[in-house]
Copies of this chain bind each other. A is one copy, B any other.
Amino acid sequence: MKERIHTTSTKNFREEWIDFIHELQNKICESLEAVDGSAKFKEDVWQRKAGGGGKTRVIANGNVFEKGGVNTSVVHGELSRKMREVLHIPLSSESTKWFACGLSLVLHPINPFVPTVHCNYRYFELTDKEGNVTDCWFGGGTDLTPYYLFEEDAKHFHQTYKNVCHGFDEKFYPLFKKTCDDYFVNTHRNDERRGIGGIFYDHRKPDENNDLNFWFNFSKACGNAFVDAYVPIVEKRINVLFNESNKYWQEIRRGRYVEFNLVHDKGTLFGLKTNGRTESILMSLPPTVRFEYDYQPLKGTPEADLLEVCLRPRDWT
């Protein structure tokens, strides 16, 4: 990239985005504590030797949440060989430093009728020796991983993000829904998805249609929609009675979640291989998990129905 990126007006996207994710972290944690009714988030504030740090907030053994985390991090550093490789930045590029700042959450409920959820919204910047921004982009997404399918929950979740997307561009929801379906895939299991998806977008930079401020506002809107997208589903399913066999199935599916995160998820692998904070990255892993040889749900059961929508994503809205 030859020219310096001119962002709109004098807005400082770094600082405004940092403020936003910290406010969002507070808002989300408050909502989740309220719906849990028992457990409280515990915060670990950490520093990164090579630059920056984060606030990891974990919740465990609650009424609703067996394990979960709502993390923010604001990190930066020199562009290492590994980093250039992953971000496809040639050595000839004038960029010498990177900056990343985002919110990331995963929640694993106890009750198998309450879905697991993940979301992540981030802002990335490259700068040259003088500190000028040479490249910058927003990315993120939210996806739902139910263990049992309630169509109305799937519809509610997708409709919430469709509404957000439509406020910006009617092409976004179908595009970002498909990107999500194509991303959270266990390719080693006949392209089984880890759940019923949501939205996902990445590398959204200023272009002829939209400036950086547009993507900033879009990402804020997506982040702000999380509580409305997820909490009503929790409230609806929290008191559904479950038995040991429901829990067994949940743990089998959690195994697939582990497989996706450790084998395929670019964010997880990037973090683990570039000296990220392991405990904050792996807070995404479920609390208890089962791996069974060649486990297959019986045909016609609710478990088989769930598997079916993971193998063949549906249009929910």
Contact = CB atoms under 8 A, between A and B. Distances in A.
A294 interface: yes
Interface string A169-187: 0000000000000000001
B273 A294 contact: no
A67, A187, A291, A292: most-surrounded residue (chain B CB, <10 A): A291
A272 interface: yes
Contacts of A259: 262, 282
Nearest to A190: B278
Given A188-B272, A272-B188, A288-B288, A294 B263 contact: no
A195 interface: no
Contacts of A203: none
Contact of A289 (B60, B282, B283, B290): B290
A139 interface: no
Given A262-B262, A278-B189, A255 B290 contact: no
A58 interface: yes
Nearest to A288: B290
Contacts of A282: 259, 291
A279 interface: yes
A52 interface: no
A88 B155 CA distance: 47
The contact size tier of chain A is: 20 to 34
Contacts of A287: 290-292
B188 A293 contact: no
Interface in A149-206: 187-189
Given A262-B262, A285-B255, A288-B288, A294 B279 contact: yes
A269 interface: yes
A67 B290 CA distance: 11
Interface in A237-288: 251, 255, 258-259, 262-263, 269, 272-273, 278-279, 282-283, 285-288
B290 A60 contact: no
B258 A293 contact: no
A251, A273, A288: most-surrounded residue (chain B CB, <10 A): A288
Interface string A292-313: 1110000000000000000000
A69 B279 CA distance: 31
A262 B272 contact: no
Given A259-B262, A288-B288, A293 B272 contact: no
A287 B248 CA distance: 12
A293 B273 contact: no
A234 B283 CA distance: 34
A44 interface: yes
Contacts of A262: 258-259, 262-263
Contacts of A60: 292-293
Interface string A111-150: 0000000000000000000000000000000000000000
16 contacts: A44-B294, A60-B293, A67-B291, A67-B292, A67-B293, A69-B293, A188-B278, A251-B288, A255-B285, A258-B289, A258-B291, A263-B263, A263-B269, A286-B291, A287-B290, A287-B291
